[in-house]
Amino acid sequence: MRVEKCWFCSSSIYPGHGITFVRNDATVFRFCRGKCHKNFKMKRNPRKVKWTKAYRKLAGKELAEDATFEMEKRRNRPEKYDRELVGKTLKAIEKISEIRQKRQDRYYEKRMQKAKKQQLQADKVQLEKEVHLIKAPAGIRAEKEKLKEPVRQADTSKDAMEE
C-alpha cells in the first residue's frame, strides 16, 4: 500500500482518497481533500497558510529537523519481498513513530515554557490593574488605612525620640 503526501498540506493520502491534478508539463500534484486543491487553484503559498505543515515548520511551531524524517523520504528502489524483513520494518516504523512523538512533545514543552512565563507576567499586570473587581471597595479602604497606620506610629516614635 502506497501512502502519498498531499502537495499542499503534507498530510497522508491513502489509496482511493484525494484528488490528483496533472499539469500540462506532466507534473503530478496530489491533494488530500478539496480544501487543499482549491487553495492550490487560488495560487496560495502553503508556507503562508497557517494550517499547513510547511507554515508550522517555518514558524518554528513544529520540529523541522529530526533524524527520523530520513525514514519518510521516498525510495523507489525495487526490492525482493522478504517476509521477515517486512516484519522488522513494520516494528521499526512503530518505534520510530513513538520516538518522533516523544521528541515532538519535548519540543512543544520547551516552546511552551516561554509562553507560560509571558502569560504569568500578563496575568500579574492584569490583576494589578483590575484588583477592584476582586476586592470590595470597603476592603480596599480598610487595607489602605492599615498601610497608613504603621507609618503614623513610626512618625510618633521618631517624635518621641527627638524630645
Question: In three state form, how does the secondary structure of the chain look?
Answer: CCCEECCCCCCEECCCCCEEEECCCCCEEEECCHHHHHHHHCCCCCCCCCCCHHHHHHCCCCCCCCHHHHHHCCCCCCCCCCHHHHHHHHHHHHHHHHHHHHHHHHHHHHHHHHHHHHHHHHHHHHHHHCHHHHCCHHHHHHHHHHHHHHHHHHHHHHHHHHC
pLDDT of 162 reads 56
pLDDT of 140 reads 64
Residues of the chain scoring pLDDT < 70:
63-76, 135-141, 143-144, 149-163
The fold of the 1-61 domain, in CATH, is Ribosomal Protein L24e; Chain: T; (2.30.170)
Q: Domain map of the chain by residue range? A: 1-61, 63-73+81-146
pTM: 0.45
pLDDT of 33 reads 94
| pLDDT tens profile 39-69 | 999 999 999 999 998 888 888 777 666 665 5
pLDDT of 36 reads 95
pLDDT of 38 reads 96
